[in-house]
Structure 1
Amino acid sequence: MATLILVRHGRSTANTSGILAGWTPGVHLDPRGAEQAAELPRRLSAIPIAAVVSSPLERCVQTLRPLLDARPALELRTDDRIGECHYGDWSGRKLKELAGEPLMEVVQQHPSAATFPGGESLRAMQARAVDAVHDWNERVRTEHGEDAVYLMCSHGDIIKSLVADALGLHLDLFQRIHVEPCSVTAIRYTRTRPFLLRLGDTGGLTDLAPHGSGPDGTGEAVVGGGAGAP
C-alpha cells in the first residue's frame, strides 16, 4: 500500500518545562527543537515524499516548515485525528505533580483502562490515529501509487500507539516504546500486514527510499534477516 514516515515534532517549550501540553495553544519549538526541524530536509533528502500530513498543533506545523520550504511542491494537510491526546484537566500541568495522581499508575501500567478527567481515553486516542493512517494509506495509494511514501508529523503518544498497532501489540504494552523529539519512525503497509522499518531514528534515512512492497520486495518477511536495502 504505502510507506508512512512518522515524525515526532521537535523539542518544545512544554517538553523543556516538564509540562503536559496536550492541546494547549501557544506551545512552540524551543531553540533545540528549531535546530532539529532545520535538519529534517537533509535527513529526508533521499526520500521521494508524495504527501505531508500534520497534527494541527503549532509545534508540529513548525517542525515541518523547513521541509516544506525545501520542497515547495508539497502541500501541508492537517488531520485532527493525529493531534495530541486530549488530556483534559491534566493539560498544562507539571508532570512532576501528575506523577502523584493515582491515575498515573494506570496510565503507565494499564493504559487501555486510562481515561483522562475531562479528556479522552488512550483507547480512543489510538483508534482515531489508526483510522487516520488507514484512510491516508488508501488516499495516498490512489493518488500516488502502490510504492508511495508519505509523512505524518505527530506526537509521542500517538506515534507509540501506531507502532503498537503495527506490531500487533496490546495498548497496555505501548509504554514500552519510546520516540525522541524529531525522531523518525517508518512503517511500510502491505496488503496483508505492516512492517516496522525504523523506530525513533535520529540519524540518516537514505535506506528508507522505496524498494518494493515489503522488506524483501514481495510483501513477505525476510527469513534470517536479509541483506538490507540495496
Structure 2
Amino acid sequence: MATVILLRHGRTEANASGTLAGRTPGVHLDDLGRTQAERAAERLAVVPLAELVSSPLERCRETARAVGARQATRPRVHTDKALTECDYGEWQGRKLRDLARLALWKTVQTNPSAATFPGGESLLHMQSRAVDAVRRRDAAVTAAHGADAVWLAVSHGDVIKSVIADALGMHLDLFQRIQVDPASISVIRYTEARPYVLSANTHEGDLSWLVPQVPKKGSRKRADHGAAVGGGAGAGTRP
C-alpha cells in the first residue's frame, strides 16, 4: 500500500490565543504559522507526492499550498470534507480556559469515546469518518500510482490524533496521549497485515527515506512477511 504523510496546519491566531476555532470560516495562518508551513514544505520538497489532499478549511489549504509550491510537479490541492475539523458545536469560538470548567471537558480528556459536543458531532464519529477517508484515499492512491507512492493529507490536531490512534490499535479513549503540534509531520504505511506508524509529531529531520525506491533491473518484488523480529533494518526499507 501507499504511504500517507499527515501534516497538521500551521499555527493560527486562534491557536495562539487559546480559542477553539473549530470550523469557523476565515481562520488563517498567522506569521509563525506561515513560517511553520514553509519549514514543513522544505522538509517535504525531497519527497515526490503522488497526491496532495487537504481539509477544506483555510488554514489547512494555506498549509497545503505552501507544500505544493515546493514540489517539482506543482500538484493540485484536492479537498476532502471528511478530513475537516471536528464539529465542536456550541464549543466553537470559545476560550479553552472557559471550556475546561465544563463537566464535558473531563469526559473529553478521560473518556473521549463517550463525548458528543452540544450541537456538534461526537469524537467517535470524527474518528470514524477521518479514518475511513484516509484508508479509502490510500487505497485509491495505491491503485493509481503503485504501492511505493507517497501522498499527503493536511488536517487538524484531533483528527490526526484519532487517525494515529487507529493505526496504533489504540482505543479512542487513549488518543489524548498522542501529541500533534502545528505543522508537525506524522507518517503511516498501511499494509494487508496492519498499519505501521513510521513517525509521529516530527518537526525536523530528513525525509528522503520516504522517496520511493526504484527497483533494480531484474529484481523480484519482495514479499511482505510482516513486522521484522528484532527491529529490522530501519528507515528506508519496507516492513
Same fold (TM over 0.5): yes
**Aligned equivalent of 1:102:** 103
1:140 paired to 2:176: no
1:178 aligns with 2:214: no
Where do residues 40-55 of structure 1 align in structure 2 (5 Å cutoff)? 40-55=40-55
Corresponding residue of 2:26: 26
The answer to whether 1:203 aligns with 2:209 is: no
Question: 1:88-133 deviations in whole A, cap 9, x for unaligned?
Answer: 0000000000000000000000000000000000000000001101
Deviates more, 1:32-41 or 1:166-175: 32-41
- SS of structure 1 residue aligned to 2:66: helix
Show CA shifts across 1:27-84 (max 9, x none).
1111111001112232012212100000000000111222222235311100011100
Alignment of 1:44-83 (within 5 A): 44-71=44-71, 72-83=73-84
Match of 2:226 among 220, 224, 227: 220
Structure 2 residue 112 is the aligned partner of structure 1 residue 111: yes
Deviation per CA, 1:144-173: give whole Å up to 9, x if none: 111111000000000000001001110000
- The one-letter code sitting in structure 1 at the alignment partner of 2:29 is L
* One-letter code aligned to 1:30: D
In structure 1, the gaps of 5 or more residues are none
Give the aligned partner of residue 219 of structure 2: none
1:208, distance to aligned residue in structure 2 (A): 2.6
1:4 matched residue in structure 2: 4
How many angstroms does 1:219 deviate by? 5.4
Given residue 36 of structure 1, which amino acid in structure 2 is its aligned partner?
Q
Alpha-carbon shift at residue 207 of structure 1 (Å): 2.3
Q: Which residue of 1 aligns with 2:129?
A: 128
Q: Secondary structure at the match of 2:45?
A: coil
Equivalent position amino acid for 2:83 in 1? I
CA gap 1:117/1:152 in 2 versus in 1, 3 angstroms = same
Structure 2: give runs of 5+ residues left out of the alignment: 215-221
User: How far apart, in 2, do the equivalents of 1:145 and 1:103 lie?
Assistant: 44
- Asked if structure 2 preserves the Cα contact closer than 8 Å seen for 1:190 and 1:219, the reply is no
SS at match of 1:59: helix
The CA distance in 2 between the partners of 1:224 and 1:211, in whole Å, is 23
- Equivalent pair of 2:12/2:28 in contact (CA under 8 Å): yes
Find out whether 1:229 has 2:226 as its counterpart. Answer: no
Residues 7 and 184 in structure 2, CA contact (< 8 A), matched pair in contact too: yes
1:91 is matched with: 92
Larger Rg: 2
TM-score w.r.t. length of structure 1:
0.94
**Can you list the C-alpha shifts for 1:182-210, whole angstroms capped at 9, x where unaligned?**
00000001122110000000012222334
Q: Tell whether the 8 Å contact from 2:9 to 2:154 is kept in structure 1 after alignment.
A: yes
For 2:225 and 2:174, the matched residues in 1 are separated by 26
**Letter of the structure 1 residue corresponding to residue 132 of structure 2:** D
CA contact (8 A) 1:23 1:91 kept: yes
Judged with a 3 Å threshold, the aligned counterparts in structure 2 of structure 1 residues 66 and 187 are, in CA distance, closer, same or farther, namely same
Q: What TM-score does the superposition give when structure 2 sets the normalisation length?
A: 0.91
Inter-partner Cα distance in structure 2 for 1:217 and 1:79: 33
